[in-house]
A and B are shown apart, each in its own frame.
Chain A
Amino acid sequence: MKALGFIAVLGTGLLLLAASRDFPNWGDPDSPASSYRLSRHFITETINETAVPNMVTAVLADYRGYDTLFEAVVIFTAGIAVIGILRRYGSRNSIPSARETPLTPKKPDLIVESTVRLLIPIIQIFALYVIAHGHHSPGGGFQGGVIFGASFILLALARDLKAAQNWVAEKRTLILACCGILIYAGIGVLCQFLGDNFLDYQILHRILPTDPVMARYHSILVVEIGVAFTVTAIMFSIYSNLSSNGKMKEGI
């Protein structure tokens, strides 16, 4: 098995290497990928067409917004999949809500708890900044969402899962995740109702007090927020399922 695997891997590697001979050199500005009209258009026209300075954000959420929607769906799918695989409900139809799981502190470590208490707000504010500032600097819904989700995971790690669930119960995470997707897709559908293609944000200028280009600009922000919702919720959901082996009672 090992030898066979090695041969297969070696074969794949050599195959890939064989092609790399006629690849452009590292950093070659004239490589087809960089010089093709696609890349050029994104660099030069993004600002005119969407008014977003961060081209990555603009391409992500507008030009290839459809792709990104399904990127969020992949996350959403993973969350649902993990629930499907792992989650074990105690009794039928009983997704516990926040009230049913009272906070049961288990001898919280003073230093850890204080640090966490200090850190979490900072992390969350930073997450919000990353989401909101995606137009102008590296960042956006995914990154911000992950950071935001991490804050809950940190809480769960420092205290226990119930403490974190006190904030975001299972039901709430699911609702949040769905809302995120619905915000994103909803904007797209709204565009359809206004008579344009799915996710063609510019038509929104009819209901927003802006011109078409700025309509794109603002929609991108809304869309990023939607993504952030989903990512936050699903990150935490996956974590809590994995750490409690689907019981959602006590974590690590």
Chain B
Amino acid sequence: MIDQAPAIVLLAPFLTAVLVVLVGMKYERACFPLVLLGLSFSVAAAVQTILQVVEAGTLRYYMGGWPPPFGIEFRIDGLNALVALTVSTVALISAVYSKNRVPEENGDKISIYYTLLLLVVTGLLGMVLTGDAFNLYVLLEVSALTSYALIAMGTRRATVAAFKYAIIGTIGASFYLLGVGYLYIKTGSLNMFDIHEVLVAEDLHRSTTVLVAFILITVGVWIKMAFFPLHAWLPNSYTFAPTTTSCLLGPLVTKVMVYVMIRMMLTVFDPVYTFVQLNWGDIVVWMAVIAILVGSLSALAQTDLRRMLAFLIVAEVGYMVGGVWLANTAGLVGAIYHLIADVFMTLCVFLFAGIVFAKTGKREITATHGLFAKMPLTMAGLAVGALSLIGIPPTAGFFSKWYLIQGGMASGHWGYVVALLISSLAMAVLFFRIFEYALFGVKPAEGHGDHHAGDQGKFSEASASILLPLMGTASLVLLIGIFNQSIVSIITDFLVQFNLADPMFR
């Protein structure tokens, strides 16, 4: 009996998407349970997959029974499995969040929204699982098209942003496709691992074509992940989209593209090629430094809550790209761990923004006035996410920064280390600004007044269906932090095969 778990990870949301369209025409209420069911299956299968990967090493699943390079295979190693589990979990959480929000924000298109949600998840999962360079392009487009639509369902500003996103996204995807074409012309293969073998066997690493292919793919992926200065599409898209959309896309899209970059750099091209032969590390890390600084400092200048978070994403992308290009194990471990951690922290803060919007109908940061007394649980959720973004233990964010800084020091990129620290500070300022609003809104300033003990204000906590996801995410952020060793060990197991030179993991 062949193990079907890897396929189910992807197929569950995909088939549910189709079913939701059919069922939604008649029984709109049945959509949500269906979505939940499909995504739960996906999560379960992803857990199963990761357990198998940990136990037995790389898992291979041949689509259509054709062995690679003739057919398309899923080759699932630690990296894939982790990211896939992350993606499906986040999808599940944001689906729960959207239960009550969709009717309000997406109007009468409930089943359409759920279908698009499931399709975007399908696309992202497909990108993560596949071992075929061209197949990745197809699924990239599945997720991209749905993203455009999900964003365009928002306000009219969102529509403008969606158009920009569509144009820039298409350029990025086309660059990627061209890059694959350039690889194909030299190797004649499309399977990632096969391409790598041919590149090594025929010593193609010195050819200009492979260099250009590398540039095309990298730039294409950078565009898609909003790496500064290619980030222009991101802030508006996530700011003006419906909150349901930004909770789904904000955490996932950029991170999955970071995964693609890592996959391409390590698996398709060789680490020796990307790190040693090209020797771009310095330039890219400096670019990342600029991205981090620009992202976090622009975030400081924002008054719109979600726009601020969107700029944080730009900074976080800088973290990860920089971490990867530090070219040592600590940096890579940090980048991959951060990828996973950041998905949840970003989700956490975006859910918070969503709840604030749901409760107050306002987008500005000032909307958080006095929320500490009114919605203590929500604020606690935000606090966990914020502490993690700032990098305070035992939240997940601390550990990723720990490894990233370690990597930066090990390879002597002091600029990167300083940028990380400055951005942590910027985030601290950002979130404490929110805390201040939340703390001081209750009681107008009057020194020490005649307020008696037990003056708590009126509780008006958000409804369970939008609060539970936040609580869940917050606890996940903590759990990822607490169990960081097991995650890191999966990542290091994955990285061992590349024989990276590194003084730290002797």
Contact = CB atoms under 8 A, between A and B. Distances in A.
Q: Within 8 Å by CB, do A and B touch in the complex?
A: yes
B64 interface: yes
B156 to A, nearest CB: 12
A175 B18 CA distance: 9
Contact of B185 (A31, A87, A89): A31
B248 interface: no
B62 A197 contact: yes
A196 B2 contact: yes
Interface in A61-82: 62-67, 70-71, 73-74, 76-78, 80-82
A132 interface: no
A84 B110 CA distance: 10
Interface stretch (B21-29, B75-83, B379-387): B21-29
B15 interface: yes
A85 B139 contact: no
Interface in A98-129: none
A39 interface: yes
B188 A34 contact: yes
A38 B387 CA distance: 51
A174 B64 contact: no
A28 to B, nearest CB: 11
A195 B1 contact: yes
A21 interface: yes
Contacts of B11: 185, 188-189, 198
Interface in A134-193: 171, 174-175, 177-178, 181-182, 185, 188-189, 192
> Interface extent on B, as a size class?
35 or more
Contact of A80 (B7, B119, B126, B213): B119
A33 interface: yes
Interface stretch (B146-154, B279-287, B347-355): B146-154
B21 A174 contact: yes
B65 interface: yes
Nearest to B186: A32
B499 interface: no
B209 A197 contact: no
Interface in A190-209: 192, 195-203
Nearest to B6: A198
Nearest to B175: A12
Interface in B2-26: 2, 4, 7, 11, 14-15, 18-19, 21-22, 25
Interface in B182-230: 182, 184-190, 198, 207-209, 211-213, 215-216
B135 A38 contact: no
B157 interface: no
Given A22-B207, A73-B122, A85-B153, A197 B65 contact: yes
B143 to A, nearest CB: 9
Contacts of B208: 18-19, 21-22
A12 B366 CA distance: 44
Interface in B220-278: none
Contact of B212 (A16, A36, A92): A16
Interface stretch (B66-74, B306-314, B315-323, B436-444): B66-74
B108 interface: yes
A19 B211 contact: yes
Contacts of A2: none
A35 B65 CA distance: 24
A9 to B, nearest CB: 11
Main secondary structure of the interface of A (DSSP, over half): helix
> Interface extent on A, as a size class?
35 or more
Contact of B7 (A33, A175, A192): A192
A252 interface: no
B462 interface: no
A51 interface: no
B138 A38 contact: no
Given A192-B7, A197-B7, A85 B142 contact: no
A18 B63 contact: no
Contacts of B18: 76, 178, 181-182, 185
Contacts of B4: 192, 198
B178 interface: yes
B199 to A, nearest CB: 11
Given A67-B138, A70-B138, A74-B142, 19 more contacts: A19-B209, A19-B211, A22-B208, A22-B209, A31-B188, A36-B187, A62-B66, A64-B71, A65-B63, A70-B126, A70-B139, A74-B138, A80-B119, A87-B109, A171-B25, A185-B15, A198-B61, A198-B64, A199-B63
14 contacts: A18-B208, A32-B186, A34-B188, A36-B187, A62-B66, A63-B64, A64-B72, A70-B138, A80-B21, A84-B150, A89-B108, A185-B18, A197-B2, A201-B64
Interface of B: 1-2, 4, 7, 11, 14-15, 18-19, 21-22, 25, 28, 61-66, 69-72, 108-109, 112-113, 115-116, 119, 122-123, 126, 132, 134-135, 138-139, 141-142, 145-146, 148-150, 152-153, 159, 178, 182, 184-190, 198, 207-209, 211-213, 215-216
Q: Which 7 residue pairs spanning A and B have beta carbons closest together?
A: A36-B188, A200-B65, A81-B149, A19-B212, A66-B63, A199-B64, A33-B188
Interface of A: 15-16, 18-19, 21-24, 31-39, 41-42, 62-67, 70-71, 73-74, 76-78, 80-85, 87, 89, 92-93, 95, 171, 174-175, 177-178, 181-182, 185, 188-189, 192, 195-203
